Amino acid sequence: MQLMTSWERRGRQEGRQEGRQEGQLATIKRQLQIQIGGLSPLRERALDRLGEDQLTELAEALLGFSGVADLERWLAGHH
């Protein structure tokens, strides 16, 4: 059995967290494309800057979106 240092464990935990966040972001982008249509590069960059908690909030909020204006309002209130 191979032992890991605390640094290696921390690195793996951070890697898993980053992977979860990237997966969550990809899912949200797909859902937004279905819900409101294509995303402009500007909106994509705004989404890329969101943290994990903000992505969770957006995942819930987007269920009520009917258009791009809803996303714009949400992003304006969560910078």
Instruction: Tell me the pLDDT tens digit for each residue of 9-62.
Output: 777 777 777 778 899 999 999 999 999 988 999 999 999 999 999 999 999 999
**Gap between the Cα atoms of 60 and 10, Å rounded:** 29
Q: Where are the domains of the chain?
A: 6-76
Q: What is the pLDDT of residue 7?
A: 72
Task: Report the pLDDT value the prediction gives residue 1, as an integer from 0 to 100.
Answer: 60
DSSP count for the chain of H helices, then E strands = 4, 0
74 in Cβ contact with 44 (< 8 Å): no
Amino acid at 28: I
